[in-house]
Structures are given as C-alpha cells and as structure tokens.
C-alpha cells in the first residue's frame, strides 16, 4: 500500500465512519485514497462507508469533529492540508484539549527534504500545535506511519480524552510499503500511567473509608463534571445518587450527566449556575466531586467555596486533578464507571442507607424559592421564553449545541437534558463560532435526532459560512439566532463593571440580514421573529420543518444572564437580578474587579 492508503485503512480499522476536512496539495494523496476506498467499498451512490465532509473553513471541520465526538464518545477525525489548513485547526485543537474531547487531526505537510525551507504552504505544525494538543506526531519514518496512526487513536481516547495531531509529509503519503495490520508505537511512559489507572481497583477498605465520611454527613452534595460523561459513568452516577437520595449539581460540561428533570437535580452551579445550586453548595457539609476539576467558573474563590463542607471526596481519572484546587479528605483515581459501581455494590452489600429527608426537603425549598425567573410581562421577546418554548418541543431529548456568550448560558439554564451527550458547547476555551459546526458534526453522528444550534448574532458570525454546509448535505439542523445586536455577554459586563461604556461590543449599526444570508445559502425555512405573540406558532413551524431551518429572534437587548457570581466573589455575593430572590441583602461595600475574570 501507499502511505496514504495505509492511513485510510487504519481509519477504517478504527471504525471511522465520517471524516471532516478541506483538501489541498500536501494532503491530496490521502484524499485520493479516501475517494478510492469509498468507491471500492460502497454498495450504492449514497452509502460511502467513510464520507469526507467538506466545511467552509478548517476551523469548522475541527468543530464538526468535536461535535461528532461529544455526541458519540467516538474519536472525531479531521483531515486538512499543510500550512494554513493545519494552522486553521489550532483553535479547535486547543478547545478539544481544554474540554477533554477526543479528535485526531491528520495534516498534510511538505516533503521531508523541504521541511524548514519555508516551502509553499509549509508551517511548523509540531511546534505550533504540539502545545495545544494532547500529543503531536511528525512522521519522518514511513515504516512507522501505520503504528503512528493507531497510536494516535489510542492516546486520543484513553485516560483523559483529548486531541492528537499527526503531521504527514507528502512523500510519506506517496511511499510504498507493506501494510502490517497491527502494531503500535512504543510509548511506555504513557501506557504505564494508563495501566496504573486501570489497575487501581478500589478496595473494600477504601470504600469503607468513603462511607465513613458519607454516613457522618447530613447534607452531602454530588458535584459532577464532564468527566462523568467522558467516562460513560452517567448511569452509575444516577444509581448512586438515587440509592442514597443525594442531590446532584453539575458543571457546564457535566450537563446531562444527571437528568435535569429529576427531583434530586440542582442543574448547573457556578458563575451562571442556578441560585438554588449555589446556595446548596453554601449549605452542604460534604462534597462528592466526580469527574470535576473545581475550575474558576465554579470555584472562583476556592477558600470560600463550600464553606460549610467538613470534607471533600474526589473521584477522577486524572491524578493531577486530585486536590489541585481544593484539599480533599478522600480520593480515588481510576475508571469512574467501575469505581462508582464498586461504591454502589459495597453500600448494597453492607446495607448502608442514609437518612437525608431533612436535607432533601431543604433542597426542594431552595429550588422553589430561588427558581430561575425573568420578566414574564415584558412586551419585548425574552430569550428565556424562547428557550422555554423550544424546550416544550424538545422534551429534554434533543441535541443542543451553542456558540459562546449569553445565549450559551440561557440554553444551559433553561433547556432540559434527560441524557448525556445532548449538550455540546465550548466550555473552558469559550470559543465563539463553535455552535453551528458542532451541530453539523452531531447531525452526521445522529441523523435521526433533533439537533438545534442555539447561537447569538455575534457568535454565529464567526463560522457563518457553515450555513451552506448544512444545506449542501441537506441536514435537518435547526439554527436559532438570538439577536440582541451585539456581544451580549461583553455588554452585560460593561454595563455592570465599566459604567456602561460599550467599547466595541454594540453591533446595532451592523447591516447583517441573517435571514437573507440563510436564504442565500439554501435554507427554504428562514424566518425572523419580532412579535412575542407569534412565538409559539413560529417555533412550532421551525421545529417541525422537515429540512434545514433557520430562525432569527429579535430579543430584548437588555436581557441579562442571571444569576451571576461576580469575579472575585463567593456564592453568598451572587447577583440574582430583579426576578430571582437573593438570600442575603447585597453589601454595598462589595468590591468587584471586572477585569479579573471574564
């Protein structure tokens, strides 16, 4: 086989069924090999076993692969050319590393004898993307190409998942050699760490220590992060919580790990988490952290976070996360699903049952008293009401993707998620432009599911060209743009912390007609909603439209995201706005440094 054919065959062996990418000179041999593989293995005109999906931009390809990976748990694959093709994937690669998303990026590169000569479309991919990726390979020995591609998939999906980049010079792709059909690179350090985690099975003695802390607690709280979803541990987490009646709150990336419609759910905590979740954190006397990393959006002031918790127990697959932000009394590094199952079994075998009735009643009261709310009598369209209307149709079963900003937080707050892998967003990096391409990747992963991109007018501009990708492949993605004429979250901060100086954030003078743009890109349903009384019927028509559908909603430009924990403040200083009660009066002396954390 040629090197290009070897790459494609390894992709097939790894179960890859979709490739996202943009062609170019340095990757042409592999693109041709994909074409020939599909031609040889298809049984009809529309059933290519490994279709190559072409975006408007390589950044879009990276986010499509991320959306695919988040929606399935499988490794997403990106294939791009050298130079700008590779560097355009830098943001998705970093985004996937920050959110622990497994993708493999295969980049073409100039021939090995031309590397370092500033050849046409040459870029130092390993140097540029290496710090942004979980690992980066530059293939210079063709005999190691096959093993390199297999090893890239191993690294991407094992342990804490992440992006792996393979830089393949064109002469390596054109090389002829024998396909071995097996074999991996020697990466002993990595495999030693993975084996240590896999072999670290929880003992009865360790379970006994955990339950000694848990049974002594009167107000335990589960704090679940994206690691629960990455570790396919949602079912065991739910069983553990329900067995003992322990309330559950999740991070932004953990949304869906626990059914938001369940009585024990406190939804999301943190900077824009629910008031009742944050108050429950204030009140709890034990925190059980599962696949969560105490990031600054959750624990902006670590020493004041969960001030009444006598202890923290932490489960994670990454040993570097244990005690990194908050000291813990008990911890275990291992496979989350297996570890939670062991804890459940131990509790059942020893007849351990907790008496948490009083705590459950307190939590229920918090949920009633400090529920999400907004101005329901406004004549302007409220974004919260739009999402509530869509949620009535989605029923907690739709895949929701978002860009980044106010619309992202509104979606996190007001949509229901009954299952994991339904909530796809850019968390740690906070990358605008994520939503639309991620929705495309998710729709390819789940052709029969309802996929909705909730976007903002500023965020969707970042990858607006992917509207055409939706219609090119006739994907039934529903695109929602909540238009408040500007960078809504930036404007909210400027109003709160910068005396209302809207520096470069007010887009009210921009001329973009989103409906015409969608129509130009082939959307047969492209509607602008401006009157509140039309909302229910328009939303229903948009959801029920059988193909790609675009809806722009002109919302109240002053609508804010509340609750909000200001930078440098603890949860007891949470800003709840005009329609959500606050437990303690706001202290006029509270100092907020608006520049300290966005």
Catalytic residue among 170, 367, 478, 507: 170
Cα R_g (the chain), whole angstroms = 25
> What is the rounded CA–CA span in Å between residue 356 and residue 346?
19
58 is catalytic: yes
- Residue whose token pair is 């990976």: 69
Contacts of 87 (CB under 8 A, 6+ apart): 123, 125, 128, 129
Q: What is each CA distance from 598 to 11, 253, 411, 493, in whole angstroms? A: 40, 18, 19, 8
**Cα–Cα dist 239/93, whole Å:** 34
d(CA 384, CA 580): 13
Dist. CA 203–CA 339, nearest whole Å: 10
* 430 Ramachandran zone, left/alpha/beta (phi>0; psi -120 to 50): left
Catalytic, out of 9, 114, 121, 495: 121
Residue-by-residue DSSP string for 45-69: TT--SS-EE--SSHHHHHHHHHHHH
Q: Are strands 76-80 and 103-109 parallel, antiparallel or unpaired?
A: parallel
Instruction: Say how many C-beta atoms besides its own lie within 10 A of residue 585's C-beta.
Output: 6
Single out the residue of 454, 429, 427, 428 nearest to residue 439, CA to CA: 454
What length is written for the chain? 598
Distance in angstroms (rounded) separating the CA atoms of residues 407 and 415: 11
The crossing angle, in degrees rounded to 10, of helices 275-283 and 357-369 is 150
Instruction: Report the alpha-carbon distance of residue 264 to residue 221 in Å, rounded.
Output: 10
The yes-or-no answer on residue 121 being catalytic is yes
Q: What element of type H or E holds 454?
A: strand 451-456
Nearest to 184 by CA among 214, 238, 147: 147
Q: Supply φ then ψ for residue 532, to 5 degrees.
A: -60, -35
Per the DSSP assignment, residues forming a β-bridge with 554 are 483
210 as an active site residue: the answer is no
Alpha-carbon gap, residue 545 to 525, rounded angstroms? 7
- Count other C-beta atoms under 10 Å from residue 578's C-beta: 9
Q: Is 382 a catalytic residue?
A: no
d(CA 260, CA 491): 29
Give the contacts of 151 (CB within 8 A, at least 6 positions apart): 137, 184, 185, 187
- Report the 10 Å Cβ neighbour count for 340: 27
d(CA 29, CA 2) in angstroms, rounded, equals 9
State how far the Cα of 105 lies from the Cα of 208, in Å rounded to an integer: 44
Nearest to 19 by CA among 112, 87, 82, 104: 104
**CB-based burial label for 504 (10 Å; 0-12, 13-18, 19+):** exposed
In angstroms, rounded to a whole number, what is the distance separating the alpha carbons of residues 149 and 145? 6
Catalytic residue among 489, 535, 564, 574: 489
Catalytic annotation, pick one of 5, 14, 58, 154: 58
Calculate ∠ Cα 571-576-578, nearest 5°. Answer: 165
- Known catalytic residues? 58, 120-121, 170, 489
């Amino acid at each position: 086989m040629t090197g290009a054919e070897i790459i494609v065959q390894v992709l097939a062996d790894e179960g890859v069924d979709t490739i996202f990418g943009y062609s170019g000179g340095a990757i042409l041999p592999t693109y041709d090999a994909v074409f020939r593989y599909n031609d040889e293995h298809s049984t009809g005109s529309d059933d290519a076993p490994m279709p190559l999906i072409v975006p408007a931009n390589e950044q879009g390809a990276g986010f499509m692969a991320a959306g695919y990976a988040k929606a399935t748990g499988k490794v997403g694959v990106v294939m791009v050319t050298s130079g700008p093709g590779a560097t355009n994937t830098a943001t998705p690669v970093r985004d996937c590393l920050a959110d622990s998303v497994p993708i493999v990026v295969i980049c073409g590169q100039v021939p090995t004898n031309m590397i370092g000569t500033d050849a046409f479309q040459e870029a130092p991919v390993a140097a540029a993307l290496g710090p942004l990726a979980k690992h980066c390979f530059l293939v210079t020995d063709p005999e190691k190409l096959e093993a390199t591609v297999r090893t890239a998939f191993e690294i991407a999906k094992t342990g804490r998942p992440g992006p792996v980049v393979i830089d393949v010079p064109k002469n390596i792709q054109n090389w002829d050699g024998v396909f071995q059909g097996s074999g991996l690179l020697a990466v002993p350090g990595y495999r030693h760490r993975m084996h240590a985690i896999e072999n670290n099975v929880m003992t009865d003695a360790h379970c006994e220590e955990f339950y000694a802390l848990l049974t002594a607690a009167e107000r335990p709280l589960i704090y679940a992060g994206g690691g629960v979803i990455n570790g396919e541990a949602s079912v065991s987490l739910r069983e553990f919580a329900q067995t003992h009646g322990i309330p559950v709150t999740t991070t932004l990336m953990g949304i869906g790990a626990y059914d938001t419609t369940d009585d024990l759910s406190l939804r999301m905590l943190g900077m824009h988490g629910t008031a009742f979740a944050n108050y429950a954190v204030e009140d709890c006397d034990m925190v059980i952290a599962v696949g969560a990393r105490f990031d600054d959006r959750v624990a902006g002031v670590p020493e004041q976070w969960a001030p009444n918790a006598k202890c923290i127990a932490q489960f994670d697959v990454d040993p570097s996360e244990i005690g990194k932000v908050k000291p813990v009394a008990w911890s275990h590094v291992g496979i989350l699903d297996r570890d939670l199952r062991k804890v459940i079994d131990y509790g059942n075998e020893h007849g351990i049952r907790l008496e948490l009735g009083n705590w459950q009643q307190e939590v229920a009261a918090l949920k009633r008293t400090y529920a999400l709310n907004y101005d329901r009598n406004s004549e302007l369209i409220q974004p919260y009401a739009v999402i509530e209307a869509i949620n009535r149709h989605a029923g907690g079963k739709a895949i929701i993707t978002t860009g980044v900003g106010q619309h992202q937080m509104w979606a996190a707050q007001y949509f229901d998620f009954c299952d994991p892998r339904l909530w796809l967003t850019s968390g740690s990096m906070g990358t605008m432009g994520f939503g639309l391409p991620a929705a495309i990747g998710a729709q390819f992963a789940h052709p029969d599911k309802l996929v909705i991109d909730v976007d903002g007018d500023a965020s969707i501009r970042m990858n607006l060209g992917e509207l055409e990708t939706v219609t090119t492949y006739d994907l039934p993605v529903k695109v929602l743009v909540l238009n408040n004429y500007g960078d809504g979250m930036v404007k909210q901060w400027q109003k709160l912390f910068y005396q209302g100086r809207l520096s470069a954030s007010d887009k009210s003078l921009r001329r973009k007609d989103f409906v015409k743009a969608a129509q130009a890109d082939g959307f047969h349903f492209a509607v602008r909603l401006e009157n509140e009384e039309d909302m229910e019927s328009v939303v229903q028509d948009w959801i029920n439209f059988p193909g790609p559908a675009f809806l722009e909603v002109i919302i109240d430009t002053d609508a804010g995201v509340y609750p909000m924990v200001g930078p440098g403040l603890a949860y007891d200083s949470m800003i709840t706005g005009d329609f959500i009660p606050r437990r303690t009066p706001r202290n006029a002396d509270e100092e907020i440094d608006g520049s300290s954390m966005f």
